[in-house]
Amino acid sequence: MRHYLKFTDFTREEYDYLFERTVKLKALHKAGELYQPFRGRVLGMIFEKSSTRTRVSFEAGMAQFGGHAMFMQSKDTQLGRGEPIEDVAQVISRMVDIVMVRTYEQTIIERFAENSKVPVINGLTNEYHPCQIMADIFTYIEHRGPITGKTVAWIGDSNNVSRTWLQAARIFDFKLNLACPRGYEMTLLGDEAYGADHFEQFYDPYQAARNADIVTTDVSVSMGYERETLQRKKDFINYRVNEKVMLQAKADAVFMHCLPAHRGEEVDPEVIDGPQSLVWDEAENRMHTQKAVMEYLLLGKIED
Ligand code: CP
Ligand code: NVA
């Protein structure tokens, strides 16, 4: 049994397979053809934080597969009243076939997975957001071809999304330039050591964006960090993706954002709503890529 708790849980070969599968599953869906390998199966979804895209993409994907997705907000379950995560995992995984968890510390989802009888997928933690970066890389490849050898410029916080880009940089062999205010630099976790081919820390957004193929950003105040809002709004004031930042990047560069976005804060409307932006395809591809992940975790490789 496999889990998908961080981007490095799959190999490059597995991502190649999952992207091939995503192309097929997306085409079937667009053609209106029914493919229901999950009839009678249930996805349990535990949310300790808010969500639009993650909930809708998993729930819609599961329905398309002929299964059922069960939405649980921790505050409405006994988890919100202090039931140990290990006990919750034991109970839920006896009744459902696969679980998605959105929570705070990565250790919480790890403890859940250790006690789960079924595969567990990370739907975002404080440290990582693997499903997001899988969809982002798939979207880039759809529009521009291979990401290997390219440069991704991240303008903003060293958060769960940028740390997942960093994990992906080594697997897909691209470079991540990260520009953030002093005091918000990327902290490398566990065995995350990176050479200059894969990661460079900047403080100037213009320098980070120079010759980039992808320019991307995210909210400066992630869920769970709300008490730092006032300070962060001040600290990140010069870390906004505007047209001048985009002009530093390559002429055919794309803009990406995991959403939700805050126009006038981390990104200008001219950029996110402009011709280089891929944000809507990125959001839609959450569903197609996650269908491939769920199919792989439950059924293994599909030979056609
Ligand atoms: N990008 C993303 O995960 O969005 P939600 O918080 O709406 O799920
Ligand atoms: N970094 C953001 C991503 C939201 C999808 C957060 O964790 O709130």
pLDDT tens digits, 14-38: 999 999 999 999 999 999 999 999 9
Ligand 1 pocket mutation, candidates 47, 51, 121, 160, criterion most atoms within 8 A of CB: 51
Q: Is 81 a catalytic residue?
A: no
Q: Is 167 a catalytic residue?
A: no
b/e map of 161-198 (b: 16 or more CB within 10 Å)?
Answer: bbbbbbbbbbbbebbbbbbbbeebebeeeeeeebeeeb
Residues annotated within a binding site for L-ornithine: 160, 218, 222-223
Cα dihedral 261, 265, 266, 270 sign: positive
Exactly one of 102, 170, 198, 288 is catalytic; name it.
Answer: 102
DSSP 22: H
Residue range(s) of every CATH 3.40.50.1370 domain in the chain? 3-129+283-299, 132-278
Token pair recorded at residue 143: 């529009």
Q: Which of 3.40.50.1100, 3.40.50.1370, 3.40.710.10, 1.10.490.10 would CATH assign to domain 3-129+283-299?
A: 3.40.50.1370
In short, whether 216's Cβ falls inside 6 Å of ligand 2 is no
**Which residue is closest in CA terms to ligand 2's atom 7?**
222
Ligand 1 contacts (CB < 6 A) are 51-54, 124, 132, 258-259
Domain 132-278: give its CATH code: 3.40.50.1370
CB neighbourhood size of 128 (10 A):
24
Over residues 250-272, the pLDDT tens digits come to 999 999 999 999 999 999 999 99
Distance CA 158, CA 149 (A): 22
Ligand 2 pocket mutation, candidates 53, 162, 223, criterion most atoms within 8 A of CB: 223
Please state the φ and ψ torsions of residue 274, each to the nearest 5 degrees.
-95, 180
**Which residue is closest in CA terms to ligand 2's atom 3?**
222
Percent of the chain surpassing pLDDT 90: 96
Please give the distance of CA 285 from its chain centroid, rounded to a whole number.
11
Q: Which residues make Cβ contacts (< 8 Å) with residue 169, sequence separation at least 6?
A: 152, 175, 176, 194, 198, 199
Over residues 150-188, the pLDDT tens digits come to 999 999 999 999 999 999 999 999 999 999 999 999 998
pTM for this structure? 0.98
Q: Is 213 a catalytic residue?
A: no
Distance CA 272, CA 279 (A): 7
Question: Which residues lie across from 267 on neighbouring strands?
Answer: 241, 263
Strand (E) or helix (H) holding 256? strand 254-257
Exactly one of 258, 268, 276, 288 is catalytic; name it.
Answer: 258
In short, whether 245's Cβ falls inside 6 Å of ligand 2 is no
Please state the φ and ψ torsions of residue 42, each to the nearest 5 degrees.
-125, 135
